[in-house]
Amino acid sequence: MNTTDKAQELAALRDRYVPKGHPNSTPFFVESAKGAIIRDVTGREFIDFVGGIGVLNVGHCHPKVVAAIKDQAGRYLHTCSMVTLYEPYVMLAKRVCEAAPGDAPKKAIFVNSGSEAVENAVKIARCHTGRQGVIAMKNAFHGRTLLTMSMTSKVKPYKYRFGPMAAEVYQYPYYAYCYRCPLGLTYPKCGAACADKLREFFIGSAAPEQVACIVAEPVQGEGGFVVPPAEFFVKLRAICDEFGIVFVADEIQSGFGRTAKLFAMEHFGVVPDLMSVAKSMGGGLPLAGVIGRADIMDSVHPGGIGGTYGGNPLACRAGLAVMDIFEQDNLLAKAERLGAAIKRRFAAFKKTYEIVGDERGLGAMRALEFVSDRATKAPLPEAAKGIAKYCQDHGLLVLSCGNFGNCIRVLMPLVITRDQLDRGLDILEEGIREVAKSLGK
């Protein structure tokens, strides 16, 4: 069977056996992947600016991750950490607790997915405070389970026809979107009024005495890689302290080096009470968790949190390898250099192409927002869609995001070579130029 026939056969099998509700954004079938390059079953190669949606900060099949998995596979695959605990779980808990921001003693629990991590963080906060209310941010994405879907902002496709939603979940308008400030203010003259509005929210939406936690992404992921003003989380943290509300940072997409800090909250000088983590922590294996203050984590009764597969031994060994890679290969410094290079090119794109309304991000977590008119900032989702398709056709994988679907985000592995990065950015610019021309912009 030739490679084209194989691809066609796989596509037919996909259509027959995989439901339409579980789509894929490209028509390719992966044959192998290494570093920042994916090869499909027909032999085509793609520069990967997606990284499994932020899962592969250390790259595809990093040798240290693969070696750790192989070694563990010959020892034991599963015992259930709630029956017989094992060294990789305990050692990874130690490593991530020591690496997390803040001086207070911390503890960690491991689960399988980002949704599970967020859901467990909420459970822990509710148990600790004895309250039920949960405040999430508009434009945020926290998962697809009932609770995290209720916390997620965007209706289609995430919430549409799946109601009713979970109770006691309140969405705070995300005023911290400086490019589209709903308050019509300009930073820094505004004094980060986006956080002060929370006090008004307490009057008409949720009494603070009934709120267990506020959950926020340091950089909004699906919402468009939106970075709030520097003072936003400082003020939010102070309000949480004033009312005894647990502050939860959702670091699922922004954590493990993506922003050139191990955790994005470090950029803001604010220590969260709890952090939900996942994606790149496992180096490609399903691994997620909650890291937080020991007194809050210990407020839950035995058996209240856990799961059969949580903290799988192979995943924990992969997670330990990821921690080694960051320490031994100085990957945070690489992320900083990578982010600076991307920022320079994105700034040039904005200067050159009128459809680029904004470029933003932290470290290597960066995005472009496309508009039809810079004065009105009218969203231009067809540009993002067209650019993603152009890139795909020319050997580069990128994804759109944003509440309007008008942003292109980059999540390339931090181990990408400079030649691969430059070639990928060149393809992206070619896509912007061609789409702008086709739209008459």
pLDDT computed for residue 39 by the predictor: 97
Average pLDDT over residues 182-199: 93
Nearest to 109 by CA among 350, 237, 300, 379: 300
Q: How confident is the model at residue 394 (pLDDT cuts 50, 70, 90)?
A: very high
**How far, in Å, CA of 106 to CA of 280, rounded?**
21
- Tell me the three state secondary structure of residue 297: helix
| pLDDT of 1 above 80 | no
Q: Is the dihedral of CA 309, 53, 263, 265 positive or negative?
A: negative
Look at 2-16, 219-233, 301-315, 386-400 and tell me which has the smallest mean pLDDT: 2-16
- Residue 379, C-beta contacts closer than 8 angstroms, at least 6 positions apart: 370, 371, 372, 402, 404, 405, 406
Domains, the chain: 3-61+331-438 (3.90.1150.10), 76-328 (3.40.640.10)
What pLDDT does 194 receive? 92
Determine the distance from the C-alpha atom of residue 310 to the mean position of all C-alpha atoms in its chain, rounded to a whole number.
Answer: 20
User: Strand, helix or coil at 289?
Assistant: strand
Q: What is the CA radius of gyration of the chain?
A: 22
Question: What mean pLDDT comes out for the span 142-167?
Answer: 95
Report in angstroms the alpha-carbon separations of 66 from 86, 284, 420: 20, 10, 22
Q: What pLDDT is stored for residue 428 in this prediction?
A: 98
pLDDT of residue 272: 98
How high does pLDDT run on average in the chain?
96
> pTM of this prediction?
0.96
Range 26-39 average pLDDT: 95
The CA distance from 256 to 413, in Å, is 11
